[in-house]
Amino acid sequence: MIELKGFTYWYPGREKPALRQVDLRVEEGEFVLLVGSTGCGKTTLMRALNGLVPHFHGGRVSGLAKVAGKDLAVSSTREMASLVGMVFQEPEDQAVTTTVEREIAFGLESMALPPGLISRRVEEMLSGMGLSRLREAFIPNLSGGELQKVILASVMAAHPRLLVLDEPTSQLDPVSAEELLNLVRRLHEETGTTVVMSEHRLERCYHYASRVIYLEEGEILFDGDPVRAALWMSERGKPYLPPVARVFVRAGWEEIPLTVVQGRRLIGKAVDGMGREGCPPHPEDCGGEEVLSARGLSYMYPEGKEALRGIDLSLKAGESMAVLGENGAGKSTLVRCLLGLLSPTRGKVRLLGEEASPDRLARLRGEVGYCPQSVRGLFLRESVWDELLLSLSLRGIEGREAVDMASQHLERLGLEHLAARHPWELSSGEREMAALAVTTVSRPRLVLLDEPTRGLDYLAKFRALALLEEMEREGTALLAVTHDVEFAAAVSKRASILGSGRLVAEGPTRDVLRGSLFFSPQVSRLFRGYDDGISTEEEAVRFLRDLAHKRLVRFPRPFDGEVEGR
């Protein structure tokens, strides 16, 4: 299906190739997972598979690239469209028309298929993918999950032999992501479609893959089955494993499970009736001064939709809270109300001791760090470095002190190499990290993050976590709105689940997450019934090490148990 030999690609005006001497052969019917750090060339490789690289993006290529027998150097993207279907990250930026059925038909019309055939394919996709009820739905009214399913349907309507998915779930809540990936798996199994997918949240898809490819700086460094990939990653300290595998690797176990079921089986054998003390509870009260509070907060949009209903929450200095919930539950609206950017319909919000309002926010001059969901709006200057200096100068920090703070901050986040780069040139994950750096460089007293881990690979996520933990220890209060339950479990002491504008659960993170099937981290599901208190990887690793010592589980190969960058 795919044959690349010595394939090298340079984006226009770049000296360094984005892909370097790539040799790859994928047979029909395989499910290939691409992993690697952000900016390592995954997206470029996927773009090359349907000719977007170089036909759409320009630039230079060398080497051979053939997909479904077609030479990509001479086959246009239009020719490849009927053979290769591609789904991108942002569902909103892919829809072209205004209704679902028209969107599904769009590609088929472009391929000049006869109207009768288009009707048949549209019907097939609507019923096959459970979209019939949305047939005439207006595209802007769809949720992120629904829209991504529509885009997948519009791509699959062309009956492509190869389906390429570039982080298709990065914008979706856990339930929508699960639904979408189940659909992909079904398409793969029932139609034999070859799938190439990149995804940072490996817990969602690692077990579907028949093959894992690891890329670094545009080169393929590993190519093999998932079990061998897990061993290879663990031996080299690479974090690109699903959490269930990673905790076993870090704890030094011989056998590495890839799914929760396999992991539970291993723990079950080892525990074998053995008693176990629970993890110490999280501290519930850090005793700091209250920096943010909402009492009876309700908000109604001008068109009459009630987004928030009677929210009560409080955040003290040095405390952290994660807010989870499905797409459209009101999480971003909550953040905007807490910042005073939206005036509540009812209730009160106090921000750093005073009533929240746009004026109050302006007067705080950077004491509050806010990283919005779409980070593109955060960048105004020509380089990441200038952005950091701007944030510091707005906080009144200039000169030598600002330079020192900015360089230390970039180093802490592993972003030194991005300092001179224009924020708009960065990959989505790099941009997300740069936004986090810009938001936190001036050490604000309160940090509000809206989906901070979109597009972040594991390494970047670990660095972000380490920084936030450090800030928390220094007294910064943190509120993160996220779909990433693993991140929520690791970063916050308290968690809330927002549903239809109400807080349906609120309390210590592990209590909230263990009571949920979908909004719980993979490690919580792994230890359910063995130790319900476990919700973070650190706790899981401690448990497994402890268990291994008690049961004398062998450690056949040396492993320091630490992941690179942590």
Partner 1 sequence: MLPIYRNKGTLLHSLHASVVLLFMAAVVGGLLLLDHPLYLLFLGVGLLTMMHSADLVGESRPYVRIGATLAVLVFLLNPLFNRNGSHVLLFGPRLPVLGKLDITLEAVLYGALSGGRVFSLVLAFGLAGMLLDPDEVLRLLSPSIWRTSLALGLSVRMYPTLVTEAQRMKEAQMARGLPLETGGKWERFKAYLPLWTSLFRNSLERASTVAESMAARGFGGKKRTVWKKSNYRRIDVLWVTLLAIPLMTAVVVAACSDGYSLFPSPDPLGKGFSPWAGAGISLPFLLVSGLSAWWRGRGRKYLL
Considering only residues 472-491, where is the footprint of partner 1 by CB under 8 A?
none
Shortest Cβ distance from residue 223 to partner 1 (Å)? Answer: 25
**φ, ψ for residue 518 (rounded to 5)?**
-90, -35
Residues 62 and 500: their CA atoms lie apart, in Å, by 52
122 belongs to the binding site for partner 1 (CB under 8 A): yes
Exactly one of 5, 14, 78, 550 binds partner 1 (CB under 8 A); that residue is 78
Residues 317 and 287: their CA atoms lie apart, in Å, by 8
Q: Which is nearer to partner 1, 244 or 410 (CB)?
A: 410
Shortest Cβ distance from residue 536 to partner 1 (Å)? Answer: 29
Question: Which of these segments, 59-67, 73-81, 229-237, 407-415, binds partner 1 (CB under 8 A)?
Answer: 73-81
- Three-state DSSP state, 321: strand
Shortest Cβ distance from residue 375 to partner 1 (Å)? Answer: 8
DSSP 138: B
Residues 1 and 18: their CA atoms lie apart, in Å, by 22
Exactly one of 93, 190, 285, 560 binds partner 1 (CB under 8 A); that residue is 93
Shortest Cβ distance from residue 326 to partner 1 (Å)? Answer: 20
Q: Which is nearer to partner 1, 151 or 503 (CB)?
A: 151
Q: Which of 467, 441, 446, 308 is nearest to 370 (CA)?
A: 446
Residue tagged 């209060």 (tokens): 477
Exactly one of 378, 413, 503, 534 binds partner 1 (CB under 8 A); that residue is 378
Q: Which is nearer to partner 1, 118 or 294 (CB)?
A: 118
138 belongs to the binding site for partner 1 (CB under 8 A): yes
Q: How many CA atoms lie within 13 A of 22 on its CB side?
A: 36
Q: Which is nearer to partner 1, 185 or 336 (CB)?
A: 336
Question: Which of these segments, 60-68, 111-119, 321-329, 398-406, binds partner 1 (CB under 8 A)?
Answer: 111-119
Exactly one of 9, 214, 222, 370 binds partner 1 (CB under 8 A); that residue is 370
110 belongs to the binding site for partner 1 (CB under 8 A): yes
For the segment 30-69, give every residue that binds partner 1 (CB under 8 A).
50, 52, 55-56
- Three-state DSSP state, 67: strand
Residues 60 and 509: their CA atoms lie apart, in Å, by 50
Q: Please classify residue 225 by burial: count the beta carbons closer than 10 Å to its beta carbon, then call 0-12 exposed, 13-18 middle and 19+ buried.
A: exposed
Question: Which of these segments, 205-213, 248-256, 311-319, 353-361, binds partner 1 (CB under 8 A)?
Answer: 353-361
Q: Which is nearer to partner 1, 46 or 485 (CB)?
A: 46
Provide the phi-psi class of 87: left if phi over 0, else alpha when psi is between -120 and 50, else beta: beta
13 belongs to the binding site for partner 1 (CB under 8 A): no
For the segment 380-409, give every residue that binds partner 1 (CB under 8 A).
380-381, 391, 394-395
Residue 166's DSSP bridge partners are: 198
**φ, ψ for residue 304 (rounded to 5)?**
105, 0
Residues 350 and 291: their CA atoms lie apart, in Å, by 8
420 belongs to the binding site for partner 1 (CB under 8 A): no
- Three-state DSSP state, 494: strand
95 belongs to the binding site for partner 1 (CB under 8 A): yes
Exactly one of 14, 28, 62, 98 binds partner 1 (CB under 8 A); that residue is 98
Shortest Cβ distance from residue 472 to partner 1 (Å)? Answer: 19
Q: Which is nearer to partner 1, 125 or 247 (CB)?
A: 125
Q: In one letter, which amino acid is 269?
A: K
270 belongs to the binding site for partner 1 (CB under 8 A): no
Question: Which of these segments, 125-133, 230-238, 300-308, 502-510, binds partner 1 (CB under 8 A)?
Answer: 300-308
46-71 core/surface letters (b: 16 or more CB in 10 A; e: else): bbbbbbbbbbeeebebebebbbbebe
Exactly one of 361, 403, 466, 467 binds partner 1 (CB under 8 A); that residue is 361
Q: How many CA atoms lie within 13 A of 246 on its CB side?
A: 24
Residues 414 and 38: their CA atoms lie apart, in Å, by 12
Q: Which is nearer to partner 1, 19 or 118 (CB)?
A: 118
DSSP string across 37-55: STTSSHHHHHHHHTTHHHH
Question: Which of these segments, 176-184, 375-383, 527-535, 541-549, binds partner 1 (CB under 8 A)?
Answer: 375-383
Residues 120 and 132: their CA atoms lie apart, in Å, by 13
Residues 362 and 39: their CA atoms lie apart, in Å, by 35
Site size toward partner 1, by CB under 8 A? 79
Exactly one of 59, 128, 237, 372 binds partner 1 (CB under 8 A); that residue is 372
Question: Which of these segments, 32-40, 169-177, 276-284, 358-366, binds partner 1 (CB under 8 A)?
Answer: 358-366
Residues in Cβ contact with 275 at an 8 Å cutoff, skipping those fewer than 6 apart: none
Name the strand (E) or helix (H) holding 480: strand 477-481
For the segment 150-189, give every residue that binds partner 1 (CB under 8 A).
151, 154-155, 158
73 belongs to the binding site for partner 1 (CB under 8 A): no
Name the strand (E) or helix (H) holding 300: strand 290-300
Q: Which is nearer to partner 1, 158 or 220 (CB)?
A: 158
Exactly one of 17, 145, 239, 369 binds partner 1 (CB under 8 A); that residue is 369
